[in-house]
């Protein structure tokens, strides 16, 4: 997804902007550009392609101590040099970089064209450059010009703006798309993601929706859209630049899969109480009485976050005996949901910036819902807007496909289910069983990681199939969905997940030697039913890779993982499927960390 960086200070801006853009590459993009301001005016360079192509296009004498940069993920207009940001007004005075979507861009464009403005690009962003330039003619400051221009804009944005006539400052604004200010020594940074700032400073300020900021080398001021000054407290990011290194692994994805013994341990750290067999979740900001007042749980997230929410719903129903279900945030917010006071809403987001999930949080809050966030990125929009929650502490996830955040989210749900259960009917003995199971997870994940070579060989064996079916029952079904999701997004092999119980109601027609099945078969009370399903697939000459706790003659190949408690097994069963997808993608020569058409955090609708 699009990325923004900006710099104002004593140094040359271009190398800092290029470095920042490189740090944002993992989010996905198709073109890149930057603009710097010096006493002679604005200079820009934009290219379709990689940040490395942009760096090659920037001449040595590209001087300026103020600048803005951008990686673009095309929405309005195809990827091209011209459509890349920054966009300038026709006099070349104002330059703008923008994340988000301007919904009334067509109308604004028509109005500006009627006034004689000639557009260069097909983008919605260019309207902003012209509008701000128009306002700048009358305004006393760039901040005033930006504020007035934005008053007529409908849509979402995170923007950074420079003015050739005011070479010492940058104005930024946020509405639905993240903007983070980084505070340095006599220098200021801006980015849409802390990843781009972390090399320079860990002191950051997040803008809220409807907020603007003016940055100079000496500091910053923040304002509301009606020009009232706001007071912001910087906070210290606890991730450092080292967290963003690939640690010697060939791909971030493999690094992040391999980190899971540690990341799961971090999610658990300090949260298990062995005396009362409960979970300490102070961040929920709820006392026992309020916790008991909820009758059901609704879980909301997108993509893999939603699938981890399905694992969460199952855990809550089993351990807390409360009705719980998960739903894609993108669907939830548009179907006019009935928001009830006795429902606990739990939203999930690794990035904490996914637009659909954030919008669902806002809709829930408008309707008086009690909303928690299970979030990885500290200080992100969803973390700020929810009433409380659980941080994953999994460290930054760089690869586009989510792995360690998925397992940590499932672990966080196990803690939440334990917490909800122990203030209701869950017995101390069952609480202890779950606590002990949770403690075993990091070591068991290490054991699963030792199966990598076997899984690599299986991935190579199955990778040439035109498609794969993934099946699982009840606890195994979200695992199958996540397995299919990982495979399709990084290897581009078509993968479809079905509840094993549903095969007979349609998809069995697809089974043939050409469509292998990955079956998630835990040793639980549904084992026999699952083995019967494998028999049905075999009878149709389907090949089967079984992932479970034992081998079976019903399957062609088996990956056997350590057994934990039934409720916690889905967490472990996910890991072989991550490795399977990773090695299938490598075998097929895919760009594992940056799969086509996908972005790390989806900050637009
Ligand atoms: C899949 C994947 C996506 C994200 C989804 C939500 O591997 O990464 O499906 O899970 O876009 O992202 P977050 O968790 O940042 O809200």
Beta strands 66-72 and 3-8, pairing class:
antiparallel
* From 2, 302, 435, 558, the catalytic residue: 2
pLDDT of residue 311: 98
Question: The tokens of 329 are what?
Answer: 């945030």
Question: The tokens of 545 are what?
Answer: 């890779």
- 552 neighbors 530 (Cβ within 8 angstroms): no
pLDDT of residue 184: 96
Element (H, E) at 408: helix 404-422
CA–CA gap between residue 39 and residue 64 (Å, rounded):
8
Residue of 397, 402, 581 with the most ligand 1 atoms within 8 Å of its CB, for mutation: 402
**Is any atom of ligand 1 closer than 6 Å to the C-beta of 328?**
no
> Which stretches of 423-555 are DSSP H helices?
428-449, 452-462, 476-491, 527-539
Higher pLDDT, 184 or 602: 184
Task: Tell me the pLDDT tens digit for each residue of 103-130.
Answer: 899 999 999 999 999 999 999 999 999 9
- 256 neighbors 404 (Cβ within 8 angstroms): yes
CA–CA gap between residue 202 and residue 237 (Å, rounded):
5
Q: Does residue 418 sit in helix, strand or coil? A: helix
Residues whose CB is less than 8 angstroms from the CB of residue 106 and which lie 6 or more positions away in sequence, other chains included: none
Q: Which of 510, 513, 519, 487 is nearest to 586 (CA)?
A: 487
Question: How many CB atoms sit inside 10 A of residue 461's CB?
Answer: 16
Residue of 28, 251, 351 with the most ligand 1 atoms within 8 Å of its CB, for mutation: 351
- 582 neighbors 254 (Cβ within 8 angstroms): yes
**pLDDT at position 528 over 80:** yes
CA–CA gap between residue 62 and residue 51 (Å, rounded):
16
Angle between helices 569-587 and 428-449 (to 10 degrees): 20
- Which residues partner with 282 through β-bridges? none
pLDDT of residue 246: 81
Q: Which of 158, 193, 202, 160 is nearest to 176 (CA)?
A: 158
Mean pLDDT of 404-427: 97
Q: Which of 55, 23, 56, 149 is nearest to 98 (CA)?
A: 149
Name which residue sits closest to atom 9 of ligand 1, judged by CA: 303
Confidence of residue 421 (pLDDT cuts 50, 70, 90): very high
pLDDT of residue 336: 87
The phi, psi pair for 561, rounded to 5°, reads -110, 160
Mean pLDDT (the chain) is 94
Task: Tell me the pLDDT tens digit for each residue of 319-344.
Answer: 999 999 999 998 998 888 999 999 99
Angle between helices 569-587 and 476-491 (to 10 degrees): 20
Q: Which of 258, 236, 237 is nearest to 246 (CA)?
A: 258
Strand order in the sheet with 494-499: 494-499, 467-472, 517-521, 544-548, 557-560
- 561 neighbors 548 (Cβ within 8 angstroms): yes
**Is any atom of ligand 1 closer than 6 Å to the C-beta of 349?**
yes
**CB neighbour class for 138 (10 Å; exposed up to 12, middle 13-18, buried from 19):** exposed
Q: How many residues appear in the chain?
A: 605
Query: pTM of the entire structure?
Result: 0.83
Mean pLDDT of 163-189: 94
Task: Tell me the pLDDT tens digit for each residue of 487-517.
Answer: 999 999 999 999 999 998 998 899 999 999 9
Distance 281 CA to ligand 1 centre (A): 24
Mean pLDDT of 408-431: 97
What is the distance in angstroms between the CA of the first residue and the CA of the last residue of the chain? 11
CA–CA gap between residue 390 and residue 270 (Å, rounded):
12
**CB neighbour class for 605 (10 Å; exposed up to 12, middle 13-18, buried from 19):** middle
Residue of 302, 306, 399, 582 with the most ligand 1 atoms within 8 Å of its CB, for mutation: 302
Task: Tell me the pLDDT tens digit for each residue of 550-567.
Answer: 999 999 999 999 999 999
Distance 304 CA to ligand 1 centre (A): 5
* Sign for the pseudo-dihedral over CA of 265, 268, 273, 276: negative
CA 502, chain centre distance (Å):
31
Report the 3 state secondary structure along 248-317. Answer: CCCCHHHHHHHCHHHHHHHHHCCCEECCCCEECCHHHCCCHHHHHHCCEEEEEECHHHHHHHHHHHHHHH
**pLDDT at position 177 over 80:** yes
Q: Is 2 a catalytic residue?
A: yes
CA–CA gap between residue 431 and residue 410 (Å, rounded):
17
Mean pLDDT of 158-186: 94
CA–CA gap between residue 238 and residue 235 (Å, rounded):
9
* From 43, 488, 594, 600, the catalytic residue: 600
Task: Tell me the pLDDT tens digit for each residue of 127-154.
Answer: 999 999 999 999 999 999 999 999 999 8
Mean pLDDT of 203-219: 95
**pLDDT at position 244 over 80:** no
Question: How many CB atoms sit inside 10 A of residue 341's CB?
Answer: 11
CA–CA gap between residue 557 and residue 552 (Å, rounded):
8
Task: Tell me the pLDDT tens digit for each residue of 456-488.
Answer: 999 999 999 999 999 999 999 999 999 999 999
Distance 301 CA to ligand 1 centre (A): 8
> Which stretches of 521-568 are DSSP H helices?
527-539
CA 524, chain centre distance (Å):
32
Half-sphere exposure of 11 (CA within 13 A, CB side): 14
Q: Using the structure block, give the residue that is written with the tokens 């853009």.
A: 21
Low-confidence winner among 24-38, 235-249, 280-294, 373-387 (lowest mean pLDDT): 235-249
């Amino acid at each position: 997804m699009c990325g923004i960086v900006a710099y104002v200070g004593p140094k040359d801006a271009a190398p800092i902007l290029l470095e920042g853009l490189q740090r944002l590459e993992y989010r996905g993009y198709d073109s890149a550009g930057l603009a710097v301001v010096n006493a002679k005016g604005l200079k820009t360079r934009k290219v379709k392609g990689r940040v490395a192509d942009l760096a090659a296009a920037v001449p040595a004498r590209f001087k300026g101590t103020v600048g803005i940069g951008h990686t673009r993920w095309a929405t309005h207009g195809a990827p091209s040099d011209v459509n890349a940001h920054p966009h300038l007004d026709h006099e070349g005075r104002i330059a703008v970089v923008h994340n988000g979507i301007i919904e009334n861009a067509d109308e604004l464009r028509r109005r500006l064209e009627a006034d004689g403005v000639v557009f260069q690009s097909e983008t919605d962003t260019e309207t902003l450059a012209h509008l701000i330039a128009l306002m700048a003619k009358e305004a006393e400051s760039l901040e005033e010009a930006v504020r007035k221009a934005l008053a007529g804009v409908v849509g979402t944005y995170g923007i950074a703006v420079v003015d050739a006539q005011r070479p010492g400052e940058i104005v930024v604004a946020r509405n639905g798309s993240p903007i983070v200010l980084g505070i340095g020594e006599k220098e200021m940074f801006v980015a849409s993601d802390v990843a781009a700032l972390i090399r320079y400073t860990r002191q950051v300020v997040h803008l809220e929706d409807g907020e603007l900021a003016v940055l100079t080398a000496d500091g910053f001021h923040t304002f509301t859209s009606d020009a009232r000054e706001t007071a912001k407290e910087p906070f210290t990011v606890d991730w450092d630049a080292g967290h963003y290194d690939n640690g010697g692994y060939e791909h971030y994805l493999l690094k992040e899969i391999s980190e899971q013994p540690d990341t799961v341990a971090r999610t658990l750290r300090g949260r298990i109480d062995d005396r009362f067999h409960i979970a300490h979740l102070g961040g929920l900001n709820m006392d026992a009485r309020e916790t008991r007042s909820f009758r059901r749980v609704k879980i909301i997230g997108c993509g893999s976050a939603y699938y981890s929410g399905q694992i969460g719903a199952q855990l809550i129903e089993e351990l807390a005996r409360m009705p719980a279900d998960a739903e894609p945030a993108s669907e939830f917010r548009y179907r006019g949901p009935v928001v009830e006071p006795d429902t606990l809403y739990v939203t999930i987001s690794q990035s904490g910036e996914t637009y659909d999930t954030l919008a669902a949080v806002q809709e829930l809050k408008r309707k008086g819902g009690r909303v928690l966030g299970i979030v990885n990125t500290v200080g992100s929009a969803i973390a700020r807007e929810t009433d409380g929650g659980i941080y994953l502490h999994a460290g930054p996830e760089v690869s586009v496909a989510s792995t360690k955040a998925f397992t940590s989210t499932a672990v966080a749900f196990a803690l939440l289910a334990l917490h909800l259960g122990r203030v209701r009917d869950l017995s101390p003995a069952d609480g202890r069983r779950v606590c002990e199971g949770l403690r075993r997870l990091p070591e068991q994940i290490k054991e699963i990681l030792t199966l990598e070579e076997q899984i690599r060989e299986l991935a190579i064996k199955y990778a040439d199939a035109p498609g794969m079916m993934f099946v699982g029952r009840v606890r195994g079904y979200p695992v199958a969905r996540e397995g299919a999701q990982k495979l399709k997004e990084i290897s581009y092999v078509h993968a479809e997940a079905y509840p094993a119980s549903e095969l007979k109601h349609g998809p069995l027609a697809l089974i043939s030697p050409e469509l292998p099945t990955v079956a998630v078969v835990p040793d639980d009370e549904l084992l026999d039913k699952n083995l019967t399903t494998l028999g049905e697939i075999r009878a149709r000459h389907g090949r089967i890779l079984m992932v479970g706790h034992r081998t079976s003659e019903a399957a062609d190949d088996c990956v056997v993982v350590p057994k934990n408690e039934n409720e916690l097994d889905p967490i472990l069963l996910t890991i072989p499927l991550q490795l399977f997808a990773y090695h299938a993608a490598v075998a097929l020569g895919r760009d594992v960390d940056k799969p086509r058409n996908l972005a790390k955090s989806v900050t637009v609708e």
